[in-house]
Structure 1
Amino acid sequence: MELKSVMELQKRASILILSNNKLALFLFLCSLPLFCFLIFFELSLQTTISLAYQFPYHNLNFGGYLRIPDYNNYPENDLIPWLIQTSLLYFFPYTLFDLFTTTMIVAASSIVYSSEGKPLDMLYLVQRSARICKIRLVGCLITSLCVLLLSTPVFFGFFFDSVNYFYIATLISFQYYQAELLFYVVVTLIHGSIFLVLTAKFIKWSAGWNIGFVVSVLEEEEDGKGIYGTNALYLSYWYGRGHEKRDLWMMLMFWVFAIVMRMPCLYYKCSESSNGYGALFTGLYVALICVGNVVKWVACVVSYHACRTRVSEKKDDEDQKLRLLLHTR
């Protein structure tokens, strides 16, 4: 039932994009800066993950009996600079590019959705979206920083859990190969459980974070001021009540999609390719990720409007029941 609801939401988002050529073109142009930056960022990320994967071999003493040529090409001190570079790229340029792109996608999608099929001029769409972005940019930045603070520990948890598990697994496999299998199974279960818990929490929270960002772009108080930060996240939780499982499945689909798109380049080490094909393949999967990102945010806009309408109708029904109760008394 929940999967059916998710697919229906994705269908409505896809129809909204494909049924309006001007919206599709506008979203494409808005995503270009993020697309260009992500190619460079993903190549840096691939190198960092590759070095982190190879790092345990530099810290294990195999007594000269085991030599792995592919891993001896990288000095031990290469990992830290790449880790710092990738982290800085994520915290500063990526956050700004993503903030601008997401704000424009949400604003333009909401304008087209609220028009209820009426034809819109391209210039009008651009001007309205830019105006919303200008007014809400500070509030969206505050919400984005709140989300960044909440999500960063989870990302570091993913990274260090994976590296620590691989280090211990390598240590057991090559240096203490006579260790009992039970110890290896226990280590795998512990780290696997940590990874699954982090994944479940991240996906669950990300649904509320995304709707909270949509609230920061589109919602305003009675005095005309925007709603942002923790207030936007709280309001997103209020809107999402009753649809937690649907939102969880939707975020899980996009999360798995992003992971699957990255796996081939990580496996074949596209960042180490010297013939240019690595950057080409990276650009291809980055393009697919950008398309998925657009669909995700349009789906969040559709979900926001549906939830907001449902909450308003519920509030009107409660007010009407209260008035009838007072009238009978």
Structure 2
Amino acid sequence: QAIQSLRQLKSSEILRSAVTTFASNYRFMFLMILSIVPLCAFMIFYEIKLQKMVESLPKLLDNSPPVILMSVGHSSHYSRFHPKHDDGDNFRGTFYFDLLKLSLFYLVIYPLLEIVTVVISIKSAAKTHSGETQVPLKEVFKQINLWGSFPTHLSIHLLSTLTLLGLVWAVANHHLFSYRYGFWYLYDFHSIEFYLSLLSIALHSAIFIVLFFKYMSWGAFWNMAMVISVLEEGAGIGAFGLSDYYGKHCKQTGFQLMLVFFVFNNLPRLLALSLGLCNSSFSGVCVTAIVIGSLCLGNLVKWVAMVFYFYDCKQQVMEKKG
């Protein structure tokens, strides 16, 4: 009942209510944390494997080096580095095989583990919102219908993955474009290559920014559809349609919520990966466990917030309709 009487909530109010609700109800908090343990363990394993992939990227690029153009003044020097072919093919084969395994893990195992956490979190948050804090946990488990919500969850997972791949493509394509033509080695500001580099930066930055803002907006739309699929048992297209209907008056709030959780969940993870901290050593496993643990807790709070966001959006629509 923490926010039952509030109307037209701001994102900060929803976040505050979500954190307070999550931390104050120990029974549901324990249930939600227990549900996320398998997913958290899998993500620690996945993150360590991903770190190895990130560390091997420079070696992969070295096996397929670009033509480097160095311009000094009005003179240009061209050079090509030839890779060693003795183990280059084996390394590339191993790299792509590991990439395939990680992709299958993310596309198959991850959504199967995540759906359990998502459904339990949404059900628990809804019980808390309605004031049913003394409902036995056994009753909560009886009301859980994983397979009824799985089509919606899988659709959201695939759409989110495709959008993230678009963001990665924008960064990677510019990097490969610059790396291949040696733009980082240019010193002649009058050369055509220098201006091509600037054009590449502008183009890929624009694509990244537009896609990122769309991803935040779509994230609120997708997550509300997931909440609807669990609470109102409307799967697939029906859940997406209701999400669009309820969320049309509060898109800015949804965008702000997604932005906060995206930064909180991904910034520590990206920093740890870029610094090489998520490795298989004892200290690396500890760092990975801390980073992934905070990410998992952030996701639990996110789903509580999305339930409150859904009820607030629905209330606004009903009031405008009435």
Alpha-carbon distance in structure 2 between the residues aligned to 1:247 and 1:15? 19
Aligned pairs for 1:35-184 within 5 A: 35-52=40-57, 54-61=59-66, 75-115=91-131, 119-120=133-134, 124=136, 126-134=137-145, 137-173=146-182, 177=186, 179=191, 180-184=193-197
Q: 1:15 aligned to 2:24?
A: no
Per-residue CA deviations over 1:141-162 (Å, capped at 9, x if unaligned) read 1101222332332122223332
1:54, distance to aligned residue in structure 2 (A): 4.9
Alpha-carbon distance in structure 2 between the residues aligned to 1:268 and 1:66? 29
Alpha-carbon distance in structure 2 between the residues aligned to 1:44 and 1:186? 35
Per-residue CA deviations over 1:200-232 (Å, capped at 9, x if unaligned) read 12111111100000001101xxxxxx2110110
Say whether the 8 Å CA contact 2:225–2:243 is kept in structure 1. Answer: yes
- Cα gap change, 1:22 to 1:280, in 2 (>3 Å): same
Q: 2:198 aligns with which of 185, 188, 205?
A: 185
The percentage of aligned residue pairs carrying the same residue is 27
Report SS of the residue matched to 1:227. Answer: coil
Say whether the 8 Å CA contact 2:174–2:204 is kept in structure 1. Answer: yes
Shift >4 Å, 4+ stretches: 61-67
Per-residue CA deviations over 1:231-256 (Å, capped at 9, x if unaligned) read 10110111112110110111011112
Alpha-carbon distance in structure 1 between the residues aligned to 2:293 and 2:166? 27
Structure 1-normalised TM-score?
0.81
Paired amino acid for 1:142: P
1:51, distance to aligned residue in structure 2 (A): 3.4
1:172, distance to aligned residue in structure 2 (A): 3.3
Per-residue CA deviations over 1:261-301 (Å, capped at 9, x if unaligned) read 11222122234x45321121111100110111011100001
1:79, distance to aligned residue in structure 2 (A): 2.8
Structure 2-normalised TM-score?
0.83
Which residue number corresponds to residue 323 of structure 1? none
Aligned residues: 294
Alpha-carbon distance in structure 2 between the residues aligned to 1:27 and 1:148? 20
Q: 2:273 aligns with which of 266, 271, 277?
A: 266
Per-residue CA deviations over 1:19-76 (Å, capped at 9, x if unaligned) read 2121221211111111111101122222333434553332115658799xxxx9x933
Q: 1:208 aligned to 2:213?
A: no
Alpha-carbon distance in structure 2 between the residues aligned to 1:88 and 1:313? 45
Q: 1:246 aligned to 2:260?
A: no
List runs of 5+ in structure 2 lacking aligned partners: 1-8, 69-78
List runs of 5+ in structure 1 lacking aligned partners: 220-225, 318-329
Q: 2:313 aligns with which of 288, 307, 311?
A: 307
Alpha-carbon distance in structure 2 between the residues aligned to 1:54 and 1:7? 45
Alpha-carbon distance in structure 2 between the residues aligned to 1:31 and 1:302? 20
Say whether the 8 Å CA contact 1:139–1:229 is kept in structure 2. Answer: no
Paired amino acid for 1:250: L
Alpha-carbon distance in structure 2 between the residues aligned to 1:250 and 1:175? 37
Alpha-carbon distance in structure 2 between the residues aligned to 1:242 and 1:59? 51
Which residue number corresponds to residue 4 of structure 2? none
- Cα gap change, 1:314 to 1:131, in 2 (>3 Å): farther
Alpha-carbon distance in structure 1 between the residues aligned to 2:274 and 2:159? 30
* Structure whose residues are more often helix by fraction: 1
1:191, distance to aligned residue in structure 2 (A): 1.2
Report SS of the residue matched to 2:143. Answer: helix
Report SS of the residue matched to 2:65. Answer: coil
Report SS of the residue matched to 1:163. Answer: helix
Alpha-carbon distance in structure 2 between the residues aligned to 1:12 and 1:95? 27
Alpha-carbon distance in structure 2 between the residues aligned to 1:211 and 1:113? 16
